[in-house]
Chain A
Amino acid sequence: METVTLTIKNQPDLFLEADTITPDAFAGKKIEEIADLHVYVGREQHRLGDFFEISGKAGATPEETKIVVNGDLSRVKYIGMKMTAGEVVVNSNTDMYVGAWMQGGKITVNGDVDAFAGTGMKGGELIIKGNAGNYLGAAYRGDWRGMQAGKITVTGNAGSDIGTFMNGGEIVIGGDVDVHVATHAEGGRIIIKGNAKSRLGGQMVEGEIYVLGSIDLMMPGFAYREDVDVDVDGIKGRFALYEGDLGERHRKRKGQTIYAKLYQRIEA
């Protein structure tokens, strides 16, 4: 695998929209061609090279291309958007839409990310070593296609509205989450290792939520069923199983209604 290293040299006056920082855009290009890729600041179009020192070499294909981005990227959006393969390492905090609509490959962020990371994600792996903002793995505004597949792992905390309209894949949060989890979800799995606040699974049709810590307030649309033993993805223990959202439509399989499931740990 070949590596291209980007180091930010000029901070944008506004925010830098850099959806071209992907292995797909870089693959097969010379460094000068990569520097000529378009980025936007507000409505103005610029070159990637206007903001970044670029070195190294891109692979022939996205699979063979790794991108390392250095410097303060807290005003850079859309890193890794729609990428299908390869690897991106972000050594900083970064702004919104990291890995949005990504289909494959791997993104590692050694810092915090802002909202909409992994929006509409269809595959691949997104690893966030810091905290995540709101709408992690959610759907774009108005869309009903949130995270479809792939895996998002957050070491720290996450904001509100994670997994909105999630249909598949997995989100693992090492810390706590804010309100609204898996709203409207029709599939997928969310594991919260810390504490949750309220409104988990509102209008949720199918899918699973695991909470290892506390829940401030359970949705009235979730009903306690039984205590069960869980052994999923490294999570082991005795959990209380709730099903919901009872106010939503649910399909049946072999005469059985399929509900969304919410597991809360009783003991490890």
Chain B
Amino acid sequence: MAEYLIKNGFVFDPVLGIKGDKADIAIKDGKIVETTALGSPKVIDAAGKTVMAGGVDIHAHVAGPKVNIGRNFRPEDKLFGYKARSGIERMQGGFSVPTTIRTGYNYARMGYTTVMEAAMPPLYARHTHEEMRDTPILDQGAYPVFGNNWFVLEYLKNHEIENAAAYIAWLLRATKGYAVKVVNPGGTEAWGWGLNCENVHDPVPYFDITPAQIVKGLIEANEHLGLPHSMHVHANNLGNPGNYTTTLDTFKLSEGIKPNSKFGRDQVMHHTHVQFHSYGGDSWVNVESKAKEIMDYVNSHENITIDMGQVTLDETTTMTADGPFEHHLTELNHLKWANADVELETGSGVVPYVYSPNIKVCAIQWAIGLELALFAKDPMRIFITTDHPNAGPFIRYPRVIKWLMSTEAREQQFDAFKHKDKVIEATNLAGIDRELNLYEIAQMTRAGPAKALGLAHMYGGLAPGLEADVAIYDFNPNEPYAPDDIETAFLNAEHLFKTGVQVVRDHNIASNGNKRTLWVNAKVDENPQVMRDVKEKFLRYYTVTLNNYEVTGHYLPNPYVIEVDATE
């Protein structure tokens, strides 16, 4: 493979602790190496530019059945956004639910190289993998959902952690999944009865278990296995005024549990899109920010990481395994609604949504997301996401970075709100003058998520030995700039290397890359009971046989296995 030397850039790398100093980055055989290890490299002049590791997205909905339902039932989302095939680039379309091809290219254009699909229904894992396979450039993994799964509910009701762990290990292998995802624990199953679980102690109908037992049990099972990533939760009561107490109650379920993982993470719970979970008040009339209360807790508890779920004020497509929430949303905005039940496993819903700057609640949501990041004491534990596409499309990450780095940009947005004064009153943001620097941005978009995923040995930094994922942005942090310059630069990486291959050259897609799909193979002791339960449930309830369930062969042409030994 070609050798590259990226010379004289302003490097921001939390792994090496470089905060904007000039440094040279060397690439050889797909890895970062010492500059002395190079023979005759191709030299990239990065003088006056910003150099970071490739971005890592810990939570986005980019592949699988609900994303595709979004694509199918929103032809208007791609109406005027098609781009014809040209040169190396294949045809692209869509904005909030882009095609797989555009997903890969647009992440690459932003300097991202790793993107995790945040909710994979196990029964449709094959579909999810087919879409990831068709997404160019990116390294990806997918989190199967466990929080409403009948096996899990039955094992955890009796606190059978070893059985739950053995089932998780089996399902990760069967679906080629990466981590344990939990969406509205118990609530989506309750939705099958037309009900919901709105707090952590609401019983799940029929199963006689509570969300608290599910979350805590899954954390324990996750640590029993020692998986790379922690349990990854979207808590109950998403999107409702006053829900911050449910969020705090969920956080508290992790108290006293220490990580048991060889992969270097410090957390046992990752709580996703916390913006949607930080609301005070008791109605949409008096909804207010509780970001301060939420972040006080996160800042003082090192075994938790979170991501933002930043509202970007766009027209977008919401999609989640939180079926009851999507019903709530369609009752609110009267737009089209898709709803699905996934047999023994989960459910989902899809509804388009317009986050309008003229609507007070949308503006409050916008402020809450930014507050979370700006109240953060440790940027290695809070990550930039938009819960793509739920709070906004991922293509807005550069805009989120702009808002976080510039009070001027935030003031401009405040001025554009129709109900500016009411929004200021209901939130803390106007009183915050913190401006994040590029080092903190690198923590929130690279090193932090890579570490939380248990992938710090591959991604998130520029230390020799790591994968050669390197982004070079046309942005000089030492010269005066306007807020919009930040967004422009981070939207259009000048160069991007992915595992040593140059995928963006001079702002253009130069290669379809060498994409891989990461999955976790957790070896456990033989567990005849769990295997018997699996066989029995497939026989009695599933509409498919086990042979038509497992993800193998052509569904996964470029696997990258992460081995975990959880045998006694």
Contacts and interface: CB of A to CB of B under 8 A. Distances in A.
B79 interface: yes
A142 B334 contact: no
Contacts of B79: 140, 143
A43 B76 contact: no
Nearest to B336: A144
A40 to B, nearest CB: 10
A43 B85 CA distance: 10
B338 to A, nearest CB: 12
Interface residues of B, number: 10
A141 B76 contact: yes
A143 B76 contact: yes
A142 B75 contact: yes
Contacts of A43: 84
Interface string A238-265: 0000000000010000000000000000
Interface in B68-100: 73-76, 79, 84
Contact of A140 (B73, B75, B334, B336): B75
Contacts of A142: 73-76, 336
Nearest to A139: B76
Contact of A249 (B73, B75, B334, B336): B334
A43 B86 CA distance: 12
B76 A140 contact: yes
B455 to A, nearest CB: 38
Nearest to B75: A142
B335 interface: yes
A249 B334 CA distance: 9
Interface in B350-367: 352
Contacts of A140: 75-76, 79
A202 to B, nearest CB: 16
A249 B335 CA distance: 12
Interface string A143-179: 1100000000000000000000000000000000000
B335 to A, nearest CB: 6
Interface in A67-109: none
B327 to A, nearest CB: 14
Contacts of B84: 43
Interface string B331-346: 0001110000000000
A144 B75 contact: no
A158 to B, nearest CB: 23
A249 B84 CA distance: 41
Indicate the member of A43, A140, A142, A144 with the most B CB atoms within 10 Å. A142
Nearest to B79: A140
Contacts of A141: 75-76
Contacts of A143: 75-76, 79
Interface in B40-90: 73-76, 79, 84
Contacts of B334: 249
A43 B79 CA distance: 16
A141 B75 CA distance: 7
Interface in A1-55: 43
A249 B76 CA distance: 24
A122 B466 CA distance: 54
Contacts of A249: 334
Nearest to B73: A142
A119 to B, nearest CB: 10
B353 to A, nearest CB: 12
A142 B70 CA distance: 11
A205 to B, nearest CB: 8
Indicate the member of B73, B74, B84, B334 with the most A CB atoms within 10 Å. B334
Nearest to B352: A144
Nearest to A43: B84
A144 B335 contact: yes
Contacts of B74: 142
B485 to A, nearest CB: 30
B336 to A, nearest CB: 7
Nearest to A40: B84
B390 to A, nearest CB: 19
A203 to B, nearest CB: 11
Indicate the member of A140, A144, A249 with the most B CB atoms within 10 Å. A144
A37 to B, nearest CB: 17
A102 to B, nearest CB: 15
A169 B79 CA distance: 23
A247 to B, nearest CB: 14
Contacts of A144: 335-336, 352
Indicate the member of B73, B74, B79, B84 with the most A CB atoms within 10 Å. B79
- The 8 A-B pairs of least Cβ separation, nearest first, read A143-B76, A142-B75, A141-B75, A142-B76, A140-B76, A142-B74, A144-B335, A140-B79
Given A141-B75, A144-B352, 6 more contacts: A140-B75, A140-B79, A141-B76, A142-B73, A143-B75, A249-B334
18 contacts: A43-B84, A140-B75, A140-B76, A140-B79, A141-B75, A141-B76, A142-B73, A142-B74, A142-B75, A142-B76, A142-B336, A143-B75, A143-B76, A143-B79, A144-B335, A144-B336, A144-B352, A249-B334
